[in-house]
Chain A
């Protein structure tokens, strides 16, 4: 209860940021802050004069705050993030404009470069020998300069700015490479006499072609990058713009921003749920697959929660809003996925270190290469020096290295989210791929977690009803699933709980209390032994129940056994198949449970787990995990996010198995939105596939640069007489990063359903 209250309080308090126009003096600050504080619901308002921004916290809507400032003569705009949908749409528009600009730049540059290259290949020499050729090449040089100013402008500005700010980047390399080729060519045209005759070659076509090809590469990369974020776009697309709200007894459609907490919202068949809420009237089925990966529709009736983004199927319901805006489960999922997509696993760190030194190192290699050619190269050594230096500058691709990891993470985390698997960050993704042992909690993980009373065995009492009444009375306040099963069973039989005095929960054993003047103990065998209750006569019955995967719980009254209540928690129907998938992927699967040994053995046998630990106290779960880690195992722990939190935190990767759309599991490394263990197998499979993809990308990028740069410098020339053309280098560089992005995109083929997942997994591995 306390939790839900604090949740509610949290969701009502939001922070808004506004830019304030017209604020010019310190006296404005107090005026603005006073106006903002006067808005109902505002708890705190602070104006930052230097930034011309105001930060306001409370439950007031942004529009109210803007209106209050306008009322005292200031202009104001919201600095809060736009809705994800709007931001995405803006981004897509900007990307499209940028894509068109890159294509235009490509056409302009290749429009000059291709004819020049064809001329050089088929029609004539690209050298200056006669005065007429000088004039012609001067005109070509000017035209190339035009290409540099238009299509290549962004490389030169970026290159210059980065040099000035002491941080070199890809632009620096392209600007230096193409700039050097053009300058040299202009020297050939303007002052041919300063160069030996053989070295009077012009490279205008290289400058234009490189600019064109790299722009083309960037354009194609931009398109391919768009596909890497498909999953997040799909999630953002689940948000709706309007909601049908009950206002003054009328149902009206209002923009989603105007929906407030405790509004009553109408949901008709086919509608998408606009915000989170709790059903107050009607019943229906909701398709939650888009959030949880769970294909079966979920029945909803009064009191049940509904989540934004899910789709109503047949019925019509009214629900009261409980979470709006950025607090909805969907918005939180989007935030989590975005954050995880932007994070980097440790495997990318080496590439990061290399990237930090890469560009200046390439510049140095280019100079060394030029010096070697000048000192030891054949004639015209100055031309060879120029070609090798330019080619080194152009072929080196820091982007491929830099993109190798983030692109795969982007796609991998997105694919996981589609399967209802929320991965917290890149590190969790990487560690998940290395897990050798998976520890599964039994209750709620392998089993449904909603046990039912199956047997009541009488010992020293007259009726089953009496046993149930006493047990239910003791357990009435408990939230433990086994306790709830007993209370539910009693309620179904019309038995009401009696008043309990001196209630006490004994961790890992059970509960005690006084009912109808009798001192009761209710719990496991350990509790009975601790209390000195004689259970010998009924132990064989208890063992028989346990062998059927039922949990026998003993009830004693005044130190004498009163009865045994057996509760069984059915195994989830797909647990067997999912555990088989985990085992087939090479994992050692272990089950931990606080339940008794016989029940644990029965469940383990049914799901095909040979290694299990029963009667494990919550605090002992962490010890088991530590022991496994000491053995050198990389341990994954799967359990519910609340009872198993310490074990989840200690494990190398903690998997919190979810209950539908509840995502309040920040502590876990991975949150499985659907209850099925297939989510776990998917998480492992997707992390393995992603890591494999990252390795391919990193290896490709390392090999490309490690081989490309020496070849560009002319290492093959002494052996084969081959020196790479700068144009070929430009093409290779442009397409190397595209290759990385495209390879990452292959992860999109990953499917979460078991059979397809295995097929695709094999495909990605190939």
Chain B
């Protein structure tokens, strides 16, 4: 019995590590038409974006969560930080970017997403 419990426990640990750290989630393509990211229930939807290199784009953040954690979105690499009022889309202009990952998150890193710029 304990062997089974221990194996299940270890399996769960591996599952957590894979699910949160190693899994590559589906990415949504951001293009010059822009994209709306909803900020609600502790997550950005969509949270994983791709963008072509050297293509400026606009993302609109629409905050629906009243929790103060959701109030600010930051792109630290791009020195962008914006306050998000409730239920009102805020446009963030992204400049033409070099390939690489550009994470974005709230102040406390509870809301997290990543913009992958690819050639």
A: residues with CB less than 8 A from B are 17, 48, 50-51, 53, 79, 81-82, 87, 90-91, 94-95, 97-98, 101, 154, 157-159, 161-163, 165-172, 218, 221-222, 225, 338-339, 342-344, 352, 355-357, 359-360, 363-364, 367-368, 370-371, 374-375, 398-399, 401-403, 406, 425
A356 to B105, CA, bound (A): 10
Smallest CB separation, B31 vs chain A (Å): 9
Contact call A225/B68, Cβ cutoff below 8 A: yes
B: residues with CB less than 8 A from A are 2, 5-6, 9, 12-13, 16-17, 19-21, 23, 25, 33-34, 36, 40-45, 47, 60, 66-69, 72, 74, 76, 79, 81-83, 85-86, 88-91, 107-113
Smallest CB separation, A682 vs chain B (Å): 24
A169 to B21, CA, bound (A): 13
A157-B41 in contact given A166-B20, A363-B16, A402-B107 (Cβ < 8 Å) = yes
The 8 Å CB contact of A344, one of B41, B60, B74, is: B74
Contact call B33/A169, Cβ cutoff below 8 A: no
Contact call B112/A356, Cβ cutoff below 8 A: yes
**Best-buried of B19, B83, B88, B113 by chain A (most CB within 10 Å):** B83
Contact call B74/A342, Cβ cutoff below 8 A: yes
Chain B residues with Cβ under 8 A from A367's Cβ? Answer: 9, 12-13, 16
A352 to B109, CA, bound (A): 7
Contact call A95/B68, Cβ cutoff below 8 A: yes
State the 3 A-B residue pairs at the shortest beta-carbon distance, nearest first: A402-B108, A342-B81, A158-B42
Contact call B47/A339, Cβ cutoff below 8 A: no
A94-B66 in contact given A339-B81, A342-B74, A360-B16 (Cβ < 8 Å) = yes
A371-B81 in contact given A95-B68, A157-B41, A169-B42 (Cβ < 8 Å) = no
Query: Residue on B with the closest CB to A162?
Result: B42
Contact call A356/B109, Cβ cutoff below 8 A: yes
Chain A residues with Cβ under 8 A from B69's Cβ? Answer: 399
Smallest CB separation, B41 vs chain A (Å): 4
A94 to B86, CA, bound (A): 8
A364-B42 in contact given A98-B66, A342-B72 (Cβ < 8 Å) = no
The 8 Å CB contact of A371, one of B6, B47, B74, B79, is: B6
Q: List 21 A-B contacts (CB under 8 A).
A: A48-B33, A51-B36, A91-B85, A94-B85, A97-B66, A157-B41, A161-B41, A162-B41, A163-B19, A165-B44, A166-B25, A171-B41, A338-B83, A342-B81, A342-B82, A367-B13, A371-B6, A371-B9, A398-B109, A399-B108, A402-B108
Chain A residues with Cβ under 8 A from B21's Cβ? Answer: 357, 360
**Best-buried of A79, A166, A218, A356 by chain B (most CB within 10 Å):** A166
Query: Residue on A with the closest CB to B23?
Result: A166
Smallest CB separation, A265 vs chain B (Å): 29
Contact call A98/B67, Cβ cutoff below 8 A: yes
A48-B34 in contact given A87-B85, A165-B43, A167-B47 (Cβ < 8 Å) = yes
A342 to B75, CA, bound (A): 11
Chain A residues with Cβ under 8 A from B66's Cβ? Answer: 94-95, 97-98, 101
8 additional A-B residue pairs with CB within 8 Å, beyond A167-B43, A360-B21: A161-B43, A167-B47, A339-B81, A343-B74, A359-B20, A367-B13, A368-B9, A371-B9
**Best-buried of A154, A167, A371 by chain B (most CB within 10 Å):** A167
Chain A residues with Cβ under 8 A from B81's Cβ? Answer: 339, 342-343
Contact call B79/A167, Cβ cutoff below 8 A: no
Query: Residue on A with the closest CB to B1?
Result: A374
A165-B110 in contact given A87-B85, A94-B86, A221-B68 (Cβ < 8 Å) = no
A338 to B80, CA, bound (A): 11
Contact call B45/A165, Cβ cutoff below 8 A: yes
A363 to B9, CA, bound (A): 11
Contact call A403/B107, Cβ cutoff below 8 A: yes
Contact call A355/B43, Cβ cutoff below 8 A: no
Smallest CB separation, A490 vs chain B (Å): 48
Query: Residue on A with the closest CB to B84?
Result: A91
Smallest CB separation, B32 vs chain A (Å): 9
Contact call A90/B85, Cβ cutoff below 8 A: yes
Chain A residues with Cβ under 8 A from B79's Cβ? Answer: 343, 425
Chain B residues with Cβ under 8 A from A17's Cβ? Answer: 91
**Best-buried of A221, A342, A359, A375 by chain B (most CB within 10 Å):** A342
A371-B33 in contact given A225-B68, A343-B79 (Cβ < 8 Å) = no
A342 to B76, CA, bound (A): 10
Chain B residues with Cβ under 8 A from A339's Cβ? Answer: 81
Contact call A375/B60, Cβ cutoff below 8 A: no
Chain A residues with Cβ under 8 A from B113's Cβ? Answer: 167
A154 to B112, CA, bound (A): 18
**Best-buried of A48, A154, A169, A218 by chain B (most CB within 10 Å):** A169
Contact call A79/B91, Cβ cutoff below 8 A: yes
Chain B residues with Cβ under 8 A from A97's Cβ? Answer: 66
The 8 Å CB contact of B89, one of A79, A95, A163, A359, is: A79
A171-B42 in contact given A94-B66, A367-B12, A425-B79 (Cβ < 8 Å) = yes
A403 to B42, CA, bound (A): 16
Smallest CB separation, B4 vs chain A (Å): 11
Smallest CB separation, A343 vs chain B (Å): 6
Contact call B43/A162, Cβ cutoff below 8 A: yes
Contact call B41/A158, Cβ cutoff below 8 A: yes
Contact call A159/B42, Cβ cutoff below 8 A: yes
Contact call B108/A398, Cβ cutoff below 8 A: yes
The 8 Å CB contact of B20, one of A51, A158, A168, A403, is: A168
A90 to B88, CA, bound (A): 11
Contact call A50/B82, Cβ cutoff below 8 A: no
Query: Residue on B with the closest CB to A50?
Result: B33
Chain B residues with Cβ under 8 A from A344's Cβ? Answer: 74, 76, 107
**Best-buried of A82, A94, A101 by chain B (most CB within 10 Å):** A94
Query: Residue on A with the closest CB to B72?
Result: A342
Smallest CB separation, B11 vs chain A (Å): 10
Chain A residues with Cβ under 8 A from B25's Cβ? Answer: 165-166
Smallest CB separation, A626 vs chain B (Å): 25
Smallest CB separation, B58 vs chain A (Å): 8
